[in-house]
Amino acid sequence: MATPSPQARMSTPYLHTLLSAQKNAYDRQGIPSLEHRLASLDTLFNILKANQYTIAEAISKDFGHRAQQETQLAELFLCIDGIRYTRKRLKKWMRPQKRSTSIWLLGSGNRVIPQPLGVVGIIVPWNYPLFLCISPLIGALAAGNRCMIKMAANSYHLSQLLEGLFAEKFSADMLTIAHGAKGAEFSALAFDHLIFTGSSNSGRQVMRAAAGNLTPVTLELGGKCPTIIAADYSITKAAERLLFSKCLNAGQTCVAPDYVFVPEGKVDEFVTAAKTIISGRYASIESADYTSIIDDKAYLRLKSTLADAINLGAIATVLVPNSQANEVTRKFPPTLLTQVKGTMRIMQEEVFGPLLPIMAYRHIDDVLGYINSKNKPLALYLFSNDKPLQNKVINKTQSGGVCLNDAALHVGQHDMPFGGAGESGMGQYHGIEGFMAVSKLRPIFKQARFSSLSMMYPPYGKKFDRLIKIMLRL
């Protein structure tokens, strides 16, 4: 395909042309072999390894500033490690699976074969633009699919970079970045599967658009992820761990702790510990280690959310000494909020920033009741070494994932699926579950030389009656 102009790349006709080219290539070339899939994963691996610093620079430009170390840890490493994990296991995942055969079909056989769906669309958010692009892409390529990717508008520099890097190593009918494509137009394409990561409201729009083509969707959405610190657990240790996840990417993380339950009488201890921990990690919010808020709209939303909480009686504690929000650099200081109320916006909307509400509790049942009165979160965090309590919280709540004694780390486990529940999403990717999500488990039945079913062909009579009675007793 000829390289289109920037304006043409945004057009619906070009997107349809690109999709048709990928579908035609799939029909023409058929199901790719193990060797072909491994070669695609190797190519992707080499692109990331060779361009890791350029990628980190592009992401930092998109944010205004993001620490290179955060990109290395939370994006590049997880992507590269995910490819390694998949390459080692792909041959096993691709094997046909034998299945049992109904007893009345003697000598026949059943098996299912994982086969690619065809062309997979991937819509990527801006907050972890590399990881949330590459992670579902690994599963799609491993399953033998061709892929079209739409990056977020806020990921302009990374999108432009990946478009060029992919174009050098992959044909457009195999893998391409649809740089500049509009979300509504991309979602309405007749993909064989569509993977979307983003907000719940946007997820509804994507699902409506995909429904026109009966395109199956995987939706990884957001929500308010609750954190519980139990009475048996060290307040300081819990604060050290959960505040790392909360401040990573300046809290712009779908699985960041959104609010924290602290045992009654220990709120002040948590606030004191948090101030010591964060002031030791960031001398200033202008530190190169601290990330900017993505754009002016998001920055102003956080300011408005904080102001609303304070106006309604919340007490704000800035955790970095002598720091205040900077509208020029869009740096927003990590801030705790105590004495929060349910009427405050911060308790109704996903925070998606470095604001952390703290609520005191007396009884764990009150905590579980509160969590269960809300939409199912993408993640739930419990800090406790009490196994009966761990089991109680797991069994009496629902969420996309759970972390015990830390936060957000379940997302980086390649051997576990990542996905939401209810408002926080549907479907999953990562590992074998991600591979299967973009595969068709194709059932294949093989009849024996002699068909035992032939004894039951019409005309029906006494022989049929005797056989069916025997079969119904088995």
Domains plus CATH for the chain? Answer: 6-221+427-441 (3.40.605.10), 226-413 (3.40.309.10)
Backbone φ and ψ for 329, nearest 5 degrees, come out as -90, -10
Nearest alpha carbon to residue 254 among 382, 359, 399, 122? 399
Q: Does the pLDDT at position 104 exceed 80? A: no
Measured in whole angstroms, how far is the alpha carbon of residue 233 from the centre of its chain? 29
ω before 459 within 30° of 0 (cis)?
A: yes
- Tens of pLDDT, residues 186-241: 999 999 999 999 999 999 999 999 999 999 999 999 889 999 999 999 999 999 99
Stretch among 87-96, 100-109, 388-397 having the lowest mean pLDDT: 100-109
Average pLDDT, stretch 96-100? 94
CA-angle at 226, arms to 430 and 67, nearest 5°: 60
Identify the three-state secondary structure at position 197: strand
Give the pLDDT score at 370: 97
The long-range contacts involving 29-37, CB below 8 angstroms and separated by at least 24 positions, are 31/115, 31/116, 31/144, 32/116, 32/144, 34/90, 34/91, 34/94, 36/144, 37/90, 37/94, 37/141, 37/142, 37/143, 37/144
pLDDT at 27: 95
- Using CA atoms, how far apart are residues 212 and 61, in angstroms rounded to an integer? 37
Q: Which two tokens stand for residue 445?
A: 């039945």
The more confidently predicted of residues 105 and 279 is: 279
Structure confidence at residue 105 (pLDDT): 84
Q: Strand runs (DSSP E) across 370-430, as ranges?
A: 379-383, 401-404, 418-419, 425-426, 428-429
Rounded to whole angstroms, the Cα distance separating 17 from 138 reads 24
Which active-site residues does the annotation give?
A: 220, 254
Q: How confident is the model at residue 456 (pLDDT cuts 50, 70, 90)?
A: confident
d(CA 148, CA 14): 12
pTM of the model: 0.94
pLDDT at residue 70, as a whole number:
97
**pLDDT confidence bin for 103, thresholds 50/70/90:** confident
Instruction: Report how far apart, in Å, the C-alpha atoms of 210 and of each of 121, 196, 213 are.
Output: 11, 11, 6
DSSP letter, residue 75: I
143 vs 9: which has the higher pLDDT:
143
Which is it for strands 175-177 and 315-318: parallel, antiparallel or unpaired? Answer: unpaired
pLDDT confidence of residue 1: 53
Distance CA(418)–CA(284), nearest Å, equals: 34
Question: Residue 32: pLDDT band by 50, 70, 90 thresholds?
Answer: very high
Q: Which helix (H) or strand (E) holds 437?
A: helix 431-437
Question: How far is the C-alpha of 436 from the C-alpha of 433, rounded, in Å?
Answer: 5
pLDDT of residue 107: 87
pLDDT of 4: 54
Q: What is the pLDDT of residue 31?
A: 96
433 pLDDT more than 60: yes
Mean pLDDT estimate for the chain: 95
Contacts of 297 (CB under 8 A, 6+ apart): none
pLDDT in tens, 139-190: 999 999 999 999 999 999 999 999 999 999 999 999 999 999 999 999 999 9
Q: Can you tell me the mean pLDDT for 98-108?
A: 87
> Whole-angstrom Cα distance, residue 304 to residue 345?
9
CA atoms of 28 and 9, how far apart (whole Å): 25
The per-residue pLDDT for range 325-344, each reduced to its tens digit, is 999 999 999 999 999 999 99
Residue type at position 469: K
pLDDT (0 to 100) of residue 237: 98
Torsional class of 322: left (φ above 0), alpha (ψ -120 to 50), beta (otherwise): left
Nearest of 180, 126, 101, 105 to residue 148 by alpha carbon: 180
**Contacts made by residues 369-375, CB under 8 angstroms, sequence distance 24+:** 370/226, 371/226, 371/397, 372/396, 372/397, 372/398, 374/224, 375/200, 375/223, 375/224, 375/422, 375/423, 375/424
Q: What is the pLDDT of residue 473?
A: 84
How high is the pLDDT of residue 402?
98
Residue 5: pLDDT band by 50, 70, 90 thresholds? low
34-50 and 156-169 are packed helices; what angle lies between their axes, rounded to 10 degrees?
A: 130
Instruction: Measure the CA–CA gap between 203 and 206, rounded to whole angstroms.
Output: 5
Please say whether the beta carbons of 123 and 170 come within 8 A. Answer: no
* pLDDT for position 414: 94
- pLDDT of the residue at 291: 97
pLDDT tens-digit profile of 255-285?
999 999 999 999 999 999 999 999 999 999 9
Q: Which class for 153: exposed (0-12), middle (13-18), buried (19 or more C-beta within 10 A)?
A: middle
In the numeric block, which tokens belong to residue 121?
Answer: 């669309």
- pLDDT confidence band for 9 (50 / 70 / 90): low
User: Is the Cβ–Cβ distance between 129 and 253 less than 8 Å?
Assistant: no
β-bridge mates for residue 229, sequence order: 383
Contact call for residues 355 and 306 (beta carbons, < 8 A): yes
% of the chain residues with pLDDT over 70: 98
Average pLDDT of 94-113?
91
| Torsion sign across C-alpha atoms 207, 208, 212, 214 | positive
